[in-house]
A and B are shown apart, each in its own frame.
Chain A
Amino acid sequence: MSARARALTLGFERKDPVQVPAPFEYARATSVDNALELLQQLGPEARLLAGGYSLLPMMKLRLAAPEYLIDIDGLASELGYIRESDGEVRIGAMTRHRELLESELLATRLPIFTDAERVIADPVVRNRGTIGGALCQADPAEDLSAVCAAVGAQMVIRGRNVERTVGMREFQRGPYETAVGEAEMLVEIRVALDPNLGSAYEKVERRVGDWAVTAAGAAVTLSGGIVTRAGIALAAVGAEVTSVEAENALVGKAPTDELLAEAARFAAAACSPASDQRGSAEYKRHVAGVLTHRALRRAVARALGREA
């Protein structure tokens, strides 16, 4: 069991939430190289602190208790960017939610990000929270994980003197677990651009700032009226975010509404929501199907240039 998973287990057994983090040693990274150096020096009990809106609440609740915090707030300029390069959109890991929401490039080419960012947390939290922090937190209810899985994003992970790229579906190892290893950090997210790609995100939440009851992202590539690639990913319905069966149901066929509804039924059947204060498992499964259908419709409309 990883240190993180162990901390989680211990935390969930605690009955008296403490609203101050446990003591830790603090270091400020001055560059990506410096952060990697510190990670190597301090070992596996060190954690990176990006925007802090996921990690600090977990530390207050003692669900996480790292011995060392490496603050990468100062890396916002080095790793804060959204740019088009070599037929891809490249997003720096320290890019803040607000910057994603306000990006013209994403709104035009990958509106699934814009859809999701409108409903991630609240405007104040979006000023600080980062895409890299959200993806590395890997909360099963986290929206950008589903977005990146739907569009088949590539994650660039850097270690000292070495850089590797893994697909989003390989990046996600399970709840709160990613492919980022010791003395490594996520530095960039890459999404291939395709003029025939349409994408959309749909979410139901109880109120602004709350986690999703359920959410669904869809990315559809069309060629000659036929689906050549489909990505479907859900949030807040269990550890498995993608539905390969639903995706396969679409590929090679014309995206009629009946076909989209069928794929949505597959996605709803494949997910594994749990009953909690946000709704019963049965309700969430129903919502998952409805939202997948809606996201697919909008993604197809956008691929056909019929909706901005």
Chain B
Amino acid sequence: MQVTVSINDQEYTRDVEPRMLLVHFLRDELGLTGTHWGCDTSNCGTCVVLMDGEPVKSCTLLAATAAGHEIKTVEGLEVDGVLDPVQQGFTEMHGLQCGFCTPGMMLTARALLDRNPNPTEEEIREAISGQICRCTGYATIVRSVRWAAEHPAAPAPSSEEVTA
């Protein structure tokens, strides 16, 4: 069947089987491999994308269902070379080790900050509680999201970059 999905403000049409899951549509049909494919059982959350601004697990969503919704993937976070504050926060506060959970974590963080610009540590932990960091780097992930909350505007380049 023909499926048209709006991803990062661009429409993509592909002829796929109805059983194709959104995560495979993104990765295999469109080459948007920033969305990771993990446990495949809606437990780990590395496949999280935003659908109409809210995080969903793309391993448990048909591409056909996503048609008619606005999808945002990690590739859509950076705009015109400027990182989203969440991305900058993960850089500043060492929010990733192996990086496998990072795309999903950042998108959930973006959705949280859109609803609640100044979340407490507990609220951040609650928001990411459906996602697993197998490096167990939760403390730095929480700090990264807090950093983003404290730097909501387009972040200025860090001092090293300015002097470099």
Is B68 in the interface zone, CB < 8 Å from A?
A: yes
Instruction: Given A21-B19, A53-B42, answer yes or no on A124-B130 (Cβ-Cβ < 8 Å).
Output: yes
Instruction: Report B-chain residues with C-beta under 8 Å of the C-beta of A71.
Output: 62, 64-65
B131 at the interface (CB under 8 A from A): yes
Residue contact A124 to B41, C-beta cutoff 8 Å: no
Q: Are B18 and A127 in contact (CB under 8 A)?
A: no
A52: contacting residue among B18, B41, B45, B61, CB under 8 A: B61
| Among A23-31, A86-94, A269-277, the stretch in contact with B | A23-31
* Chain A residues within an 8 Å CB radius of B64: 26, 28, 71
Kindly state whether residue A37 has any CB partner on chain B within 8 Å: no
* Complex Cα gap A17–B125 (Å): 32
- A278 CB, min distance to chain B CBs, angstroms: 15
Q: Are A209 and B40 in contact (CB under 8 A)?
A: no
List of B residues within 8 angstroms of A19 by Cβ: 40
A291: interface (CB < 8 Å)? no
**A49 CB, min distance to chain B CBs, angstroms:** 7
The distance from the CB of A133 to the nearest CB of chain B, in whole angstroms, is 12
Q: Which residues of B contact A122 (CB under 8 A)?
A: 45, 129-131
Is B114 on the interface with A (CB-CB < 8 A)? no
B41 A123 Cβ-Cβ under 8 A: no
A residues in contact with B131, CB < 8 Å:
122, 124
Decide yes or no: A25 and B18 within 8 Å by CB, A71-B62, A122-B129 being known contacts.
Answer: yes
Pick the contact of A20: B19, B54, B57 (CB < 8 A). Answer: B19
B126 within 8 A of A: yes
A3 to chain B, nearest CB (A): 18
Interface status of B56 (Cβ within 8 A of chain A): yes
CA distance A28 to B18 in the complex (A): 11
Q: Is B1 an interface residue (CB 8 A)?
A: yes
| Chain A count of residues within 8 A CB distance of the other chain | 29
A273 and B64 alpha carbons, distance in the complex (Å): 39
B55, B56, B60, B130: the one contacting A209 at CB < 8 Å is B130
The reply on A279 being an interface residue by CB < 8 A is no
A19 to B40 CA separation, bound complex (whole angstroms)? 7
B residues in contact with A125, CB < 8 Å: 42, 57, 130
B17 within 8 Å of A by Cβ? Answer: yes
A57 and B127 contact, CB distance less than 8 A:
no
- List, in ascending order, chain B residues with CB within 8 A of A127's CB: 54-56
B108 close to chain A: CB less than 8 A: yes
> Using Cβ atoms and an 8 Å threshold, which residues of chain A touch B126?
123
* B106 in contact (CB, < 8 A): no
**Restricting to B96-136, which residues have a CB under 8 Å from any CB of A?**
108, 126-127, 129-131
Q: Which chain B positions have C-beta within 8 A of A24?
A: 18-19
**Inter-subunit contact A57/B60 (CB<8 Å):** yes
Chain B neighbourhood of A128, CB < 8 A = 56-57, 60-61
The complex places the Cα of A49 from the Cα of B127 at a distance, in Å, of: 26
Please indicate the chain A residues that have their CB under 8 angstroms from the CB of B60 in the complex. 52-53, 56-57, 128
Residue B13 lies at the interface, judged by CB distance under 8 Å to chain A: no
Whether A123 contacts B129 in the complex (CB less than 8 A), given A26-B64, A57-B60, A128-B56, comes out as yes
Q: Is the CB of A124 within 8 A of B55?
A: yes
The answer to whether B55 touches A22, judged by C-beta atoms less than 8 angstroms apart, is no
Q: Is A74 an interface residue (CB 8 A)?
A: yes
Q: Tell me the chain A residues, 1-53 only, with Cβ under 8 Å from chain B.
A: 19-26, 28, 49, 52-53
Listed from nearest, the 3 A-B pairs whose CB atoms lie closest are A122-B130, A26-B18, A124-B130
Chain B interface (Cβ < 8 Å from any Cβ of A)? 1, 17-19, 21, 40-43, 45, 48, 54-57, 60-62, 64-65, 68, 108, 126-127, 129-131
